[in-house]
């Protein structure tokens, strides 16, 4: 099928199948995560997820044999464009899709792919990420959670932290130390652990935004079947790093997501709260700041497009992908700072009828955004990576 025909057909299908409510921006609390015990605010959410999943379009470029959409990169791009044009919400989100699925496809055994990929694509299992530990943040490879191979299973004991939404997750992909005598990068393995068993406990942590999306996860004397080892024993660090690349890509693209502020740019809020003069933001300093941010944001989007266009043209990947996580997350923080600056007093309300629901939500999103440059590797770690791998600066 030609790309033009694919576009026509996709547009028609989306128009027929995307429920009207799913064409409105999704508030943060209406993200669809799937899982064994999903929560639905509207029946349309489930309808939309199921319809998209049936076509494999919750992971559009994944092979059809695992339930994926089997689309080419060009087709997936078109699907994305058509979804944006119609304002479609993401039918399903989560770490299963964005992080685990790509490494499962790359490193998984046939049996592992057959078991896990269809569950992720259909939204049946919600995954969380067991990476950081209280003593292993930026120095992730210093992790101490232990797994000891005992015949057909591993015995796992450990303590993970910043496990996003672990209290809602069904399974956790987990970095564990399997050889404490090896160098720190060479004794780590990558395990898939079902959380619905005694010995696994997630405790939510209250954050500066008042929300508790992160948890501490305790794993005590848990038996994990040997076939849940992804990749080779003690070779987990390679997979861990590859997964981080996927994580950085998804965090770096944070500004692309529909919903939230996407439809309320800071300049509109500035006109509303700081006043308007001749159709422009009355405060010229605020106007300059917002324009400076908007210019950087637009240039960043163009850079993502340039990388995609170069890939599509078959050019070797340029060095710019190394900066997406750093630049994208710094921009997202700036975006919320601009929103606050534009709103004035209305931007720093905490509760009560003096503030609109949006204003209260943005205050919290502003606080949440501060984690963007910490999670998935801090900005400083990203800069280290660029300095070493791209610029070749010495250790």
Partner 1 sequence: MALVLSEDAQLVRDQALDFFREKSPILALRKLRDSADPTGFSRELWREMADLGWTGFLVSEDAGGSGFGMVGLGQVLEAAGRTLAASPLISTALIGASALDIAGTPAQKSAYLTSLLSGDTITALASEEGSHHNPAAVAATARPSADGWVLDGRKTFVLDGHVATLLIVSARTAAGITLFLVPAATQGVTITRRLMADSRNAALVTLANVHLPAGALLGTDGGGTALLDRLLDRARVGLAAEMLGSACEAFDRTVQYLKDRKQFGVPIGSFQALKHRAAVLFAEIEVTRSAVLAALTALDEGAADAAALASLAKAKANATLNLASSEGVQMHGGIGMTDEHEIGFFLKRSRVAEITFGSTGFHRDRYAALNGY
Residues that bind partner 1 (CB under 8 A): 267-268, 270-271, 279-281, 284, 287-288, 290-292, 294-296, 298-300, 302-303, 305-306, 309-310, 312-313, 315, 318-320, 323, 326-327, 380, 382-384, 386-388, 390-395
Quick one: 1 exposed, middle or buried, by C-beta within 10 A (0-12, 13-18, 19+)? Answer: exposed
Element (H, E) at 312: helix 284-312
Q: What residues form DSSP beta bridges with 372?
A: none
Nearest to 191 by CA among 212, 178, 175: 175
Q: What radius of gyration do the chain's Cα atoms show? A: 22
Number of neighbours of residue 291 by Cβ within 10 angstroms:
12
Dist CA 191 CA 124 (whole Å): 19
| Residue closer to partner 1 (CB basis): 33 or 267 | 267
Q: Shortest Cβ distance from residue 376 to partner 1 (Å)? A: 16
| Residue closer to partner 1 (CB basis): 203 or 388 | 388
- The helix/strand/coil state of 163 is strand
| Residue closer to partner 1 (CB basis): 320 or 340 | 320
Given a contact cutoff of 8 angstroms between Cβ atoms, the answer to whether 313 and 271 are in contact is: no
| Residue closer to partner 1 (CB basis): 148 or 285 | 285
Q: Shortest Cβ distance from residue 389 to partner 1 (Å)? A: 10
Q: Shortest Cβ distance from residue 72 to partner 1 (Å)? A: 16
Q: Shortest Cβ distance from residue 329 to partner 1 (Å)? A: 12
| Residue closer to partner 1 (CB basis): 180 or 319 | 319
Q: Shortest Cβ distance from residue 140 to partner 1 (Å)? A: 18
Strand pairing of 153-164 and 171-177?
A: unpaired
Q: Shortest Cβ distance from residue 326 to partner 1 (Å)? A: 6
| Residue closer to partner 1 (CB basis): 133 or 343 | 343
Given a contact cutoff of 8 angstroms between Cβ atoms, the answer to whether 184 and 236 are in contact is: no
Question: Helix H segments across 101-188?
Answer: 101-107, 110-121
DSSP state of 391: S
Q: Shortest Cβ distance from residue 257 to partner 1 (Å)? A: 20
Q: Shortest Cβ distance from residue 311 to partner 1 (Å)? A: 10
| Residue closer to partner 1 (CB basis): 167 or 333 | 333
Q: Shortest Cβ distance from residue 193 to partner 1 (Å)? A: 36
Given a contact cutoff of 8 angstroms between Cβ atoms, the answer to whether 215 and 203 are in contact is: yes
| Residue closer to partner 1 (CB basis): 261 or 270 | 270
| Residue closer to partner 1 (CB basis): 327 or 366 | 327
Instruction: Please count the CA atoms within 13 angstroms of the CA of 213 that sit on its side-chain side.
Output: 15
Distance linking the first and last C-alpha atoms of the chain? 51
Dist CA 104 CA 156 (whole Å): 21
Number of neighbours of residue 393 by Cβ within 10 angstroms:
10
Element (H, E) at 128: strand 127-130
Give residues with Cβ within 8 angstroms of 174, minimum separation 6.
130, 145, 156, 158, 160, 190, 191, 192, 193, 219
Given a contact cutoff of 8 angstroms between Cβ atoms, the answer to whether 6 and 78 are in contact is: yes
| Residue closer to partner 1 (CB basis): 64 or 388 | 388
Q: Shortest Cβ distance from residue 310 to partner 1 (Å)? A: 6
Strand pairing of 127-130 and 188-194?
A: unpaired
């Amino acid at each position: 099928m030609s790309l033009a025909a694919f576009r026509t057909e996709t547009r028609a299908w989306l128009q027929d199948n995307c429920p009207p409510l799913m064409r409105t921006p999704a508030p943060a609390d209406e993200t669809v995560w799937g899982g064994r015990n999903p929560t639905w605010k509207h029946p349309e959410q489930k309808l939309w997820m199921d319809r998209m999943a049936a076509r494999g379009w919750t992971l559009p470029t994944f092979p059809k044999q695992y339930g994926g959409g089997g689309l080419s990169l060009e087709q997936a791009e078109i699907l994305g464009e058509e979804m944006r044009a119609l304002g479609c919400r993401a039918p399903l989100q989560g770490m299963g899709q964005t992080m685990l699925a790509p490494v499962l496809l790359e490193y998984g055994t046939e049996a592992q792919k057959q078991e896990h990929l269809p569950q992720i694509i259909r939204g049946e299992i919600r995954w969380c990420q067991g990476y950081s530990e209280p003593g292993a943040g930026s120095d992730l490879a210093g992790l101490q959670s232990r797994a000891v191979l005992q015949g057909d299973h591993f015995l796992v004991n450990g303590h993970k932290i910043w496990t996003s939404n672990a209290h809602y997750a069904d399974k956790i992909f987990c970095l564990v130390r399997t050889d404490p005598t090896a160098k720190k990068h060479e004794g780590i393995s990558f395990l898939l652990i079902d959380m619905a068993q005694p010995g696994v406990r997630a405790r939510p942590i209250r954050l500066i935004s008042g929300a508790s999306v992160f948890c501490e996860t305790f794993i005590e004397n848990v038996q994990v079947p040997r076939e849940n080892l992804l990749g080779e024993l003690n070779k987990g660090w390679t997979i861990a790093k590859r997964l981080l690349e996927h994580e950085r890509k998804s965090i770096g693209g944070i500004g692309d997501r529909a919903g939230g502020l996407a439809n309320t740019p800071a300049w509109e809020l500035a006109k509303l709260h700081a006043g308007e003069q001749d159709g422009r933001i009355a405060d010229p300093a605020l106007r300059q700041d917002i324009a400076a941010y908007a210019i950087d944001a637009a240039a960043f989007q163009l850079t993502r497009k340039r990388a995609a266009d170069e890939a599509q043209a078959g050019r070797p990947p340029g060095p710019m992908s190394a900066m997406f996580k750093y630049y994208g997350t710094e921009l997202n923080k700036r975006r919320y700072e601009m929103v606050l600056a534009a709103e004035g007093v209305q931007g720093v309300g905490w509760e009560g009828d003096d503030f609109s629901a949006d204003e209260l939500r943005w205050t919290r999103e502003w606080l949440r955004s501060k984690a963007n440059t910490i999670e998935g590797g801090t900005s400083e770690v990203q800069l280290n990576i660029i300095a070493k791998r791209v610029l070749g600066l010495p250790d």
